[in-house]
């Protein structure tokens, strides 16, 4: 008994690859041995393979069994050595799967895919934004970077990276240079708005440093608390700023002055309602805003802005350039049709 316990301990301490090779050898040995020893009992290799696997993993089904002494000796060998070895192999596989899930939950695994969205900083806003993106695009992959011991959100589409997002090595783990877009959320645990925006600036600077180092264009969106802090980001590239507090204040003012307008904004902001805002590229055939507006209206979409210009009176007189970003309002069905007819921006 002591010998078997010692053997079991040695097997358990072996490398997974060694155990896998030994297991494959045991299976091949059992399969070919009984096939050549008892060809009448095991007429095909598959029959001998079936008997070997059922012997190693169960007590056997009794549909095949060796009748000669040599065949039974092979069976005894499989009982003594094979069952234990396969048991260790299965245990190693289960242990590896458990370790993988633990490391993933703790945010210690490197993300290697591309075309994903990187969300930096955890808050209720982050959670709502992630849910909205996943609702909008079932195929989206999101990497959440937060300095926390465990993932604050469990979802098969959300990969968690634990660590300080202002450190470039942590951003590397999120494969940020191959991300589609990066969103930096302000830290809700910091009360001082200067410090909150300062932390966002530090993270954005780290993102910009990687962008310059790898010579890639990383599209970045930053949430800030104070509009006056936007100028502090001038030395780095930020594609969009979201004013967290001002957005709520402005919507409240709109609701007070023009009742019902917030319902329209909510419908446009969320994918859960009928119409949404999409971006398409201007065509060379469209010379003016009026040309594009009329053609898009015929296709079921309403043009509301060119690039970042919503001055409709002035825009009507301005010529369009091929490649201008045209912001339109339409439903999903119309957008899918536009996606075929024109170049769209995801």
Q: What is the DSSP string of 193-231?
A: HHHHHHHHHHHHHHHHHHHHHHT----EEEEES-GGGGG
Angstrom distance (rounded) from CA 260 to CA 84: 71
Angstrom distance (rounded) from CA 256 to CA 8: 75
Q: What pLDDT, on a 0 to 100 scale, did the predictor assign at position 147?
A: 92
- The range of the structural domain enclosing residue 200 comes to 117-247
CATH number of the domain within which 215 lies: 3.40.50.720
Residues 200-252: pLDDT tens digits? 999 999 999 999 899 999 999 999 988 888 888 888 888 888 888 766 676 66
In a domain, 324, yes or no: yes
In a domain, 266, yes or no: no
Considering 41, 74, 105, which residue would you say is the last residue of a domain? 105
Please list the helix, strand and coil fractions of the chain in percent, rounded to the nearest 5, in that order: 55, 15, 30
Let me know the angle formed at the C-alpha of 106 by 171 and 141, rounded to the nearest 5 degrees. Answer: 55
Residue 280: band (very low, low, confident or very high) from pLDDT cuts 50, 70, 90: confident
Residue 171 has pLDDT above 80, yes or no: yes
Q: Between the CA of residue 149 and those of 103, 131, 145, 186, what are the distances in Å?
A: 11, 22, 11, 19
- Are residue 292 and residue 241 in the same domain, yes or no? no
CATH number of the domain within which 49 lies: 1.10.287.70
- Are residue 41 and residue 141 in the same domain, yes or no? no
In a domain, 260, yes or no: no
Decide: pTM greater than 0.75.
no
- Are residue 175 and residue 297 in the same domain, yes or no? no
- Are residue 229 and residue 168 in the same domain, yes or no? yes
CB 292 within 8 A of CB 320: yes
In a domain, 185, yes or no: yes
Count: domains in the chain: 3
Residues 58-95: pLDDT tens digits? 766 666 788 888 888 888 888 777 777 777 777 778 87
- Are residue 121 and residue 242 in the same domain, yes or no? yes
In a domain, 254, yes or no: no
How many residues belong to the chain? 346
- Are residue 52 and residue 88 in the same domain, yes or no? yes
In a domain, 255, yes or no: no
State the distance between the two ends of the chain, measured CA to CA, in whole angstroms: 66
Helix (H, G, I), strand (E, B) or coil at 174: coil
In a domain, 333, yes or no: yes
- Are residue 6 and residue 54 in the same domain, yes or no? yes
CB 204 within 8 A of CB 216: no
- Are residue 212 and residue 282 in the same domain, yes or no? no
- Are residue 83 and residue 61 in the same domain, yes or no? yes
Instruction: Phi first, then psi: give them for residue 120, nearest 5 degrees.
Output: -110, 125
In a domain, 269, yes or no: no
């Amino acid at each position: 008994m002591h010998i078997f316990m010692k053997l079991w301990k040695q097997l358990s301490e072996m490398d997974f690859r060694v155990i896998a090779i030994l297991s494959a050898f045991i299976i091949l040995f059992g399969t070919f041995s009984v096939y050549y020893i008892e060809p009448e009992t095991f007429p095909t290799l598959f029959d001998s393979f079936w008997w070997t696997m059922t012997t190693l993993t169960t007590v056997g089904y009794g549909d095949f069994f060796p009748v000669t002494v040599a065949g039974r000796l092979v069976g005894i060998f499989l009982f003594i050595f094979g069952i234990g070895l396969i048991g260790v192999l299965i245990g190693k596989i289960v242990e590896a799967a458990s370790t993988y899930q633990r490391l993933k939950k703790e945010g210690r695994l490197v993300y290697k895919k591309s075309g994903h969205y990187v969300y930096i900083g955890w808050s209720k806003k982050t959670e709502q934004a992630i849910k909205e993106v996943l609702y909008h695009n079932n195929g989206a992959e999101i990497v959440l970077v937060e300095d926390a011991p465990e993932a604050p959100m469990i979802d098969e589409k959300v990969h968690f990276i634990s660590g300080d997002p202002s450190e470039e090595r942590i951003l590397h783990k999120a494969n940020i240079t191959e991300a589609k877009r990066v969103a930096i959320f302000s830290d809700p645990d910091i009360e001082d708005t200067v410090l909150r925006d300062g932390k966002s600036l530090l993270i954005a600077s780290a993102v910009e440093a990687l962008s310059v180092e790898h010579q890639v264009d990383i599209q970045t969106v930053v949430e800030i608390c104070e509009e006056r802090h936007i100028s502090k980001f001038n030395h780095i590239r930020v594609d969009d700023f979201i004013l967290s507090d001002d957005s709520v204040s402005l919507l409240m003012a709109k609701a007070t002055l023009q009742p019902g307008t917030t319902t329209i904004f909510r419908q446009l902001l969320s994918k859960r309602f009928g119409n949404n805002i999409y971006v398409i590229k201007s065509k060379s055939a469209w010379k003016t805003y009026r040309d594009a507006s009329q053609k898009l209206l015929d296709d079921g979409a309403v043009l509301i802005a060119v690039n970042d210009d919503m001055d409709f009176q002035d825009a009507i007189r301005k010529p369009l350039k091929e490649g201008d970003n045209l912001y339109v309002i339409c439903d999903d069905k119309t957008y899918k049709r536009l996606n075929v007819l024109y170049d769209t921006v995801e």
